[in-house]
Amino acid sequence: MIRKIISILLNIKGDFQNLFIFNEYNELTGKSRSGIVTLTVILGITFLALGYAIGGINYLKEKMDDPFTNWVNLEIKPSYRQKVPRIQQDLEIDSLKSKFLLNNIGEYNIEYCPFVNKNTGEEFNRKLRTIDLNDNLLTEILHADKGNVVSGYSYSGAGELDVDKCGVIVKESTLIALGYENIKGVKKIPIKIENYIIYPEIISVVKELPNLVDVVVSSHFYRLIFSPFDQTNFLNTSTTNRLELLVNTDSKDEVEQSIKTALKDYGVQSIDKDTLVTEIDFVQDIITVYFGDYYKPEKIDTIFKVLTENSTIPFSRFTRWECNVGSEFGIDDPYYLSFNFNKLDKVRDFKNYMDTKYQVEISMDQVEQKENFALVSKLTSFISFILFGFSILSIVFYVNSLLRTHLEKIKMNLGTLKAFGLNNNFLISSYLKIIFTFISISIIIAFVLCGIWDLIEEQIFNNSYFDVFNYKILLAIIIIILTALITSQRTISKTLLKTPGDLIYNR
């Protein structure tokens, strides 16, 4: 069956050609198919080497295209703070951006902000970074193709980003450290702001964030959190007639009775109930207690303390806040500038330009790191080409050595066939079909084995840099086959150029 399929694929015509090709194929590959085994081993090693080289290059290319890597950060020091607006304005000129392969300039702050542990209620300071909603870095963080988003919103690549300007992007490891187990089910996260706890929406949970931070927020939300509340109206800190609470109970009557009993001296007028969904499987009740009088915030704090001391129900404070406060806030006094590059080839030139033009020194550690990264990527590509060239030479040398030895051994038979009228075109065509079959079978076996290894490695290792299912491997296979056939044709033609008499008598 296989023989018939090969005959059809190679267009082998006539019984004589069929018999000749398959007999010669058996002789060339050996009785134990040692020729195929050896060539399969050579090809397998070649595919393994190319697979790891291609996988490594793809990984480096991905990292090189990743804005997490393609930036240089500049801490804004007091000595050149006044120059920052001019630097930003000058570097927005298209000619300069093209000269240094600069993509965009961003500004950001980094602060520590207290987050509340889900299980213990303890406060833990986590590193928080701002980001402009129009910054391409945000697109890269949330892009679906990057594989960085664990849950929540991911950017498809079409249209504009659709994110809440008062939402947060949180690292998966940060949520785990704060006591969360069902990461994909977390909807809101508690943040402690002075004496208040707020619950902003989680936009996305991601694997990694830039600058090794735990949380990313918009510049607008950052200003709301860290600016005085009487300037932003983010929180109502004026006198109020209500106390808002969180409680984990389904019994409204029991809650109301407990509140009225504990706060009987404060003129409770009414109690309303709402819900807060912080996780898919975790819903809390928001209890709003209305009083007949208006109290200052300090008095509300005292009332809450009285409630917790006189009630067996574990209440906690809840604070409503406002995102759309009438103004769109940005960062007036950034701590850092970030320079995002399309490629890293001009990073050192950019460093020298900043030093000469503005007397602003960018850390050489950053520059050298970027240059080394770019150099490793180029070296990996170069070495992979050398490796592939060496592999082709090895395969061609082996196939031609095997073919030359075989033709030398059957010179007399070839001379006899030519003496009886068999032309060179028939012999060349037949041997090329034999070589093609020989190489193709070896390639298929080697590729299948490497494909199996690729699938196994993905299960064994978290990060696999092996990539055999790649168009470059297909291109390499085509080059190997064509090179082997061309060199084999020259070897066969060189032998068959001799006359039948020379072949028969080995002259």
Contact 152, 202 (CB under 8 A): yes
Q: Are residues 169 and 250 in the same domain?
A: no
Among 335, 367, 399, the domain-final residue is 367
Is residue 396's pLDDT more than 90? Answer: no
CA distance 435 to 492: 11
Biggest CA-to-CA distance, the chain: 126
Residue 179 DSSP one-character state: T
> pLDDT at position 174, please?
94
Q: Which residues pair with 51 in a beta bridge?
A: none
Q: Are residues 88 and 222 in the same domain?
A: yes
The pairing of beta strand 316-317 with beta strand 102-108: unpaired
Q: Are residues 99 and 224 in the same domain?
A: yes
Q: Name the pLDDT band for 110 (thresholds 50, 70, 90).
A: very high
Q: Are residues 171 and 80 in the same domain?
A: yes
Q: Residues 52-71: pLDDT tens digits?
A: 877 877 777 666 656 677 77
Q: Which domain holds residue 293?
A: 240-317
Q: Are residues 217 and 337 in the same domain?
A: yes
CA-wise closest residue to 247 among 239, 263, 236, 258: 258
Query: How many structural domains does the chain have?
Result: 3
Q: Are residues 433 and 285 in the same domain?
A: no
> pLDDT at position 386, please?
85
Q: Residues 243-279: pLDDT tens digits?
A: 998 888 767 778 888 888 888 888 888 889 888 888 8
Q: Are residues 50 and 88 in the same domain?
A: no
Is residue 93's pLDDT more than 80? Answer: yes
Lowest mean pLDDT among 363-367, 378-382, 456-460: 363-367
Contact 119, 200 (CB under 8 A): no
Is residue 201's pLDDT more than 90? Answer: yes
Q: Are residues 196 and 120 in the same domain?
A: yes
Is residue 136's pLDDT more than 60? Answer: yes
Q: Are residues 52 and 168 in the same domain?
A: no
Q: Residues 410-462: pLDDT tens digits?
A: 767 666 766 666 666 777 777 788 788 888 888 888 888 888 888 887 777 76
Q: Are residues 331 and 309 in the same domain?
A: no
Among 367, 400, 431, the domain-final residue is 367
Detail the DSSP E strand segments found in 158-267. 168-171, 191-193, 196-198, 202-206, 215-218, 240-247
Contacts for 389-397: CB closer than 8 Å, 24+ residues apart: 391/42, 391/45, 391/46, 391/49, 391/50, 391/480, 392/479, 392/480, 392/483, 394/42, 394/46, 395/39, 395/42, 395/43, 395/46, 395/439, 395/480, 395/483, 395/484, 396/483, 396/484, 396/487
Q: Compute CA 334 distance to the chain's CA centroid, rounded to the nearest angstrom.
A: 28
Q: Are residues 261 and 157 in the same domain?
A: no
Scored b (16 or more CB within 10 A) or e, 340-358 reads bbbebebbeebbebbeeee
CA distance 383 to 386: 5
Residue 297: give its domain's CATH number: 3.30.70.380
Q: Taking residues 378-404, what's their average pLDDT?
A: 81
Q: Taking residues 373-383, what's their average pLDDT?
A: 77
Q: Name the pLDDT band for 213 (thresholds 50, 70, 90).
A: very high
Q: Are residues 56 and 117 in the same domain?
A: no
